[in-house]
Amino acid sequence: MALAKWTIAAGIAALAASGACAQTLRPDQSAFRELFVELVNTNTAYSNGNCTVAAEQLAKRMWDAGFTKDEARVVVVPGYEKEGNLVAEFKGSSKTLKPMLLLAHIDVVEARREDWTRDPFTLVEEDGFFYARGVADDKVQAAIWVDSFIRFKKSGYRPKRTIKLAATCGEESNAEALNGAEWLARNMPETLSSEFALNEGGGGRLDKEGKPQFLAIQVGEKATRTFDLETTNPGGHSSVPRPDNAIYDLAEAIVAVKNLGFPVQLNETTRAFLKQLSPVAPAAAQKAIADLLADETNIEAGKLLSMDPVMNSTLRTTCVATMLEAGHAANALPQRAKGVVNCRIVPGMSTEDTQSAIEKAIANPRVKVMLRKPHRPMAVPPPLDKRILDPAIKLAGEMFPGVPLIPTMATGATDATMTALIGIPTYGIPGIFFESDGGGIHGLNERLRVKSVYDGRDYLHRLVQIYADK
């Protein structure tokens, strides 16, 4: 395999040995499907949706299953009436084991009907897939958590460890909306306080034929920071150009950001990831991984591995221009030019260091670099705790034989940054297999395989019980 064509996905695929098999819907899966459909069909996008309605629907199902209104309740912050959150607790028998938390968000990214092949807010099952906004991100996990609580209650199961649940709003809306996980952490920490939390961000990858390639458990993530680049100028008539043009200044600044290369910064998770990936990599990549693990300042090793965009993002902080705005008239020199740069910062690097690097790269005092606020807290990576990893690996071996489970660091961001505010190690849990192309998450025609949903539900339900009884 030529190194230039080798990617993380291709490397991990070489570890996999099992394929997909047919699955018949069980009665308990039919009950779950009803819950899932109701949740997905309830629009929870920030602009025109309502998380409170969705949270109330979930709560009612829990009340109907036998939970009291103290055990399952909807928390609505005054002034944010459409941004409600569901919190619940399933009491354990142990007086010494600390609780565990099941976390998911019920809000979704915006979607316009005219852009989609199908109505984005109506779940459609077609050709072995569920289609709709949120089927994958993150209503499938929210539905599985609530469904597990209901199954536990109806079966008479009593865990040793108390299990908490938070299905929150505002994860997708950045600063536009109230982030429910953050608000609960800051104002009602007792609803979340746990020894550890299971969250989105892990999962698994399928190839184009639907064959499992690998499972992933997220152990840490990058922090997201957005910077505004702005330059101003008195302007003037376009017939008299001048060298200090605001657009030229901004354009040169954007190119400087494009060429800005941050150094490799490894952590416990990315080191473990590289070690597991190395055996299936081409010889040249194996050597580069070994060299980088021995010395992360090895420029040639970092450059070779960074030929893969995903690997590049995994190894270091990245910044990219995402928006531009400039000028006020076609026949006038621009008085103002603005750009937006989004950065994903590896654990261990600060916001201040990132901004300083951008300013140094631009090296033009006429371009102001300003941090957008408010923003998420900095990510705090949880430990590679064998008490978390070993049960997940063992169960994966039973349910998905031959499919490797690897620790990963997310290059995006989740509400794990919010639970970190109160010291909860939060893991993106495996179990649900996603498409190799992302399945339209945050984009058009979001989809998730029906088989992935039901298999993931079985895996997660069993895994929660294992953790709850340890």
Residue 21 reports pLDDT greater than 90:
no
**pLDDT recorded at residue 208:** 87
Among the ranges given (15-19, 166-170, 466-470), the one the predictor scored with the smallest mean pLDDT: 15-19
Packing angle between helix 27-41 and helix 450-468, nearest 10 degrees? 100
Residue 217 reports pLDDT greater than 60:
yes
Quick: pLDDT tens for 69-109: 999 999 999 999 999 999 999 999 999 999 999 999 999 99
Let me know: does 277 contact 406? Beta carbons within 8 Å: yes
Question: Residue 339 corresponds to which tokens in the numbers above?
Answer: 């750009």
**pLDDT recorded at residue 280:** 82
**305 part of a folded domain:** no
Let me know: does 247 contact 235? Beta carbons within 8 Å: no
In angstroms, rounded to a whole number, what is the distance separating the alpha carbons of residues 77 and 85? 9
The share of the chain scoring above pLDDT 70, in percent, equals 95
| Predicted confidence band of residue 13 (pLDDT cuts 50, 70, 90) | low
Quick: pLDDT tens for 341-354: 999 999 999 999 99
Helix (H) or strand (E) holding 462: helix 450-468
| Number of domains into which the chain is organized | 1
Residue 321 neighbours by CB distance under 10 Å: 16
Query: For residue 59, what is the domain's CATH number?
Result: 3.40.630.10
**290 part of a folded domain:** no
**250 part of a folded domain:** no
Pairing of strands 368-371, 236-237: unpaired
**120 part of a folded domain:** yes
Identify the domain containing residue 176 by its residue range.
17-221+379-468
Mapping DSSP to helix (H, G, I), strand (E, B) and coil, where does residue 271 land? helix
How many CA atoms are closer than 13 Å to the CA of 36, on its beta-carbon side? Answer: 29
Residue 412 reports pLDDT greater than 90:
no
**332 part of a folded domain:** no
In angstroms, rounded to a whole number, what is the distance separating the alpha carbons of residues 311 and 297? 16
**260 part of a folded domain:** no
**209 part of a folded domain:** yes
**251 part of a folded domain:** no
How many CA atoms are closer than 13 Å to the CA of 356, on its beta-carbon side? Answer: 5
CA angle 64, 88, 408 (to 5 degrees): 125
